[in-house]
Amino acid sequence: MWTLIGLGTGASYVYNVVATLAPQVFPESFISMGRVAEYFEAAAVIISLTLLGQVLEPRARSQTSAAIKSLLGLAPKTARHIRDDGCCLR
């Protein structure tokens, strides 16, 4: 996952630097309102949200673990099987 995020944001950063420093290397179809569009914010948002997810994940895992332990505590200690003739088995 981190490789894919790093590759994507790295490519976005390189594109943005080239668009800022040398916009003439892009074809005319990339130019809008006299300049090439830049997406520095998009790369920053992707990295920020990914890091936020990494911060929130341990808390969610611990809460899930606690909930599972609580559910296991609700299981009965013994079970009885009642046959068709009404007799109980343990």
The 10s digit of each residue's pLDDT in 24-43 is 898 888 888 888 888 888 88
Contact indicator for 81, 89 with CB cutoff of 8 Å = yes
Helix, strand, coil percentages for the chain (3-state, nearest 5): 65, 10, 25
CA distances 24 to 27, 31, 33, 53, Å, are 8, 9, 14, 38
Distance in angstroms (rounded) separating the CA atoms of residues 20 and 13: 10
Assessment of whether the complete model's pTM goes beyond 0.85: no
Stretch 51-79: mean pLDDT:
89
- Given a cut of 60, is residue 81 above it in pLDDT? yes
Can you give the pLDDT at residue 14?
92
Domain coordinates in residue numbering, the chain:
2-89
